[in-house]
Structure 1
């Protein structure tokens, strides 16, 4: 059943707005993907996990979502500028490869890392190089509308002229006059009418590796153009949600809004969502700053800033413990806390899946316990409906986990909740952990088989009163993060928290 209570913070209005898609139950969501010239880092993981969770929750609420996330494989120049070397072409020259070899390799490694983070693949993942005709047509449409001009084989968007009719800067809060006064001294802007104009199509020098024929000569598309062309192709000129990192708000998303209005007559998206940055010592993490930690380095622990390795699910959990619009500061202590929290949740998940309702004669319904469970479930959904507040939702899951653990240890009888509330408790916990937050237990079939064998040997040694062997097996399991639990009726285990 589709929730009528979901609110999304819209960067465009700077307010939380009731989510009302153009054509319910259908939802179109476009998210800016990576520029594939290097390994994915923690800064890439945040938008991927954020919008994967948005996608998951919308689907859980009954929406039919078309999720489009692009791959930028041309046009993104050094410094996010209109002049300079293409990031992928530069990497190709350094490694003596074809640009498409570089793009393919880092697209593959990005997908590998996103799979490890358990993010769903988007429904459509278009590449900029696969949509050159659409981008050329959009440039021509903007020229025909009078908001662009051609000079020396390049086409630029006329920001000043556009601003006379529609406000440029409404997303980011930038003011054209201030932008103009702050950019007059920039080099390499001679052929532009105004220094704040941006490239729609750039004339390619003979040595430029990635170039195509166009009505204006041989060249390549501007970075901002691809997202407008591809989002409109797959979601229409107007769609529901446009997402991305806060660092893309200006100029990238601002330029998309201008292109959409100039080429199609209206804003491209109704709701603009931006996740905040991951910082290290208060500074944004990114390739350009050289302070990034790749996801593979996080997973294997091989980086000077890391005290240990952190699993993909620990990283996912770490990202979800903060609201997506708040900054998330990296530290080993924060990651260790996330590791502990994740293990608690997964231990609870294992228990929840094994618990069964047992009716007990003479056990009265405990209304206080029932109300606590119902309230935690209600609050978990309220948190997600309040602009996808995963941090608060996780807090409510820990409230539910206390009840699950109490039932497991016998402190609380399932019958005291009643069958309906017990099943709702278990189902809600499992659905939130796995389906909405996307957290899964990290173990292979081989690891499970080995664990079961060791537990079998443990039980046999205990029955034989071979306590040296019992201690040896217990210590061996503890060394790999498994705690043996001797219970009245059975031997169980849990991940060490």
Structure 2
């Protein structure tokens, strides 16, 4: 029996404004799409918060026993500055400034993105499609929308006809906007003469002669619109109708609103059952922005190389700090807040380590099953990680009382407490016990250095068979020895 069969999960659905009982389209399976990064710069800490939030969702669904297909894209073309239809592509602009090929920019910042999320202990998605790898699918989607009468060609570009769509559909239902208000408030934009209405958005943009990133299409050389990419990639891998679509709160309009319109115009059905949006991260009470200098990058937190924090903080502590707020709440990042989070993280890790030395008694004076269900209740209430963490600290109190012999616990309950603390801290919250890891690394270093000393002694005694045996055995374990002028060093692969 899977856990999901006796745990009732509720998700706050942005489109209804209510918490709804989660019922997947196919029992036991979940399809989830999350909008990934536009890879033109180092990944922003606020974006990391979004991806950590959805990693929590992914981990908990898997923990409950669901088979999850998690699709998160890479946007490597078509995302204009200010999320507009006009202007310069963010990646093309960075390539021009740095005098590099656009795909060099994409590769550099895709690698950075993956490295940072790995440090944060995020699980990789099931599929990570790129916009440039799905140009054919995007062209086919545009053709279908044109055939259905919800788009028009104009001077080599193709635009979505919002007014036509709104005759029988509701453009604005996710963001709570009214089309008439949007049309009356729209300012005149450059290139506006190509559009029938200011609210219309690009499905395909004609490439100007200087535009490097371009593909042939039925409407001439060009490139896809940013909103279209996610429609094409989500439906290709999850079908025209799937369970969960997530992203940052800033994507609700226009990006996700346009996705819904494109899907409905193409297939005639609404694409997603549950829309989820993660909230912003502020820094010292103000919006993060490179332009104002109120900004900090993940690597600057880990290294301590910044003017915002008193010392370096590890990826696990930073992750723990972020999960102390509910994903739909604004979270303020500050030196005091992350310092407090570090103390809490260390208390939790110490308690989990202490569980190994607690001696069971004949009976329990603590109700461990009720406590464990409270942990599930927190996560079942729209992935409420701060409430889960509060319950984990109740578990820490239990551990301290047991260590001081002020409470008793049976062997079965001790096993339940230990497994639940580890499952929620490591499998669900995705924390790593860095103190245990560092201690383990030190022990490994000591053992390898002892073997290096034994090998050096064997070589001095001309016992080359033993010397080679030590080197080869270590190599088989992924530990490579390197002999140099300064002595022998080792690296672990």
Classify the TM-score, shorter chain.
0.7 to 0.9
Instruction: Report the CA distance shift for 1:359/1:180 in structure 2 as closer, same or farther (over 3 A).
Output: same
Deviation at 1:40, TM superposition (A): 1.2
Q: Does 1:98 align with 2:94?
A: no
Distance 1:427 1:446, change over 3 A: closer
> Residues 303 and 57 from structure 1, CA distance in 2 versus in 1: closer, same or farther, beyond 3 angstroms?
same
Aligned partner of 2:36 among 33, 38, 53: 33
Which of 380, 385, 399 is the equivalent residue of 2:380?
385
Q: How many angstroms does 1:402 deviate by?
A: 1.2
Q: 1:445 to 1:186 in 2, by over 3 A?
A: closer
Instruction: String of CA shifts for 1:374-412, please: whole Å, max 9, x gaps.
Output: 332221110000000000000000001111222234333
Aligned position for 2:433: 441
Structure 1 unaligned blocks of 5 or more? 455-497
Q: Is the 8 A contact 1:277 1:285 kept in 2?
A: no
What is aligned with 1:457? none
Deviation of 1:266 (Å): 1.1
1:138-177 equivalences under 5 Å are 138-177=141-180
**Mapped contact 1:293–1:303 kept (Cα < 8 A):** yes
Counterpart of 2:208 in structure 1 is 205
Partner of 1:473: none
- For the residues of structure 2 that align with 1:21 and 1:445, how far apart are their CA atoms? 38
Bigger mean CA deviation after superposition, 187-196 or 242-251: 187-196
Q: CA deviation at 1:175?
A: 0.6
Q: Equivalent residue of 1:82, what SS?
A: coil
Equivalence map 1:80-479=2 (5 Å): 80-286=83-289, 291-352=294-355, 354-355=356-357, 357-359=359-361, 365-366=363-364, 369-371=365-367, 373-412=368-407, 416-442=408-434, 447-448=439-440, 450=442
- Structure 2 counterpart SS, 1:190: helix
Give the CA deviation at 1:220.
0.2
- Shift of the 445–254 alpha-carbon distance from structure 1 to 2, 3 Å rule, reads closer
Aligned to 2:481: none
Tell me how far apart the structure 1 counterparts of residues 401 and 436 of structure 2 sit (CA, whole Å). Answer: 29
Q: Deviations over 1:204-253 (max 9, x none)?
A: 00100101000000000000000000000000001000000000000000
Rounded to whole Å, the distance in 2 between the matches of 1:313 and 1:449 is: 17
1:69 paired residue number: 72
2:47 and 2:154 map into 1 onto residues whose CA distance is 36
**How large is the Cα RMSD of the aligned pairs?**
1.8
Match of 1:462 in 2: none
Give the match's secondary structure for 1:132: helix
- Partners of 1:446 and 1:21 lie apart in 2 by 41
Cα distance between partner residues in 2 of 1:157 and 1:302: 46
What TM-score results when the alignment is normalised by the length of structure 1? 0.86
Equivalents in 1 of 2:357, 2:424: separation in Å? 17
Q: Distance in 1 between matches of 2:273 and 2:441?
A: 50
* Unpaired stretches in structure 2, ≥5 consecutive residues: 447-493
Cα displacement string for residues 350-374 of structure 1 (whole angstroms, at most 9, x for unaligned residues): 222x2355445xxxx35xx323x33
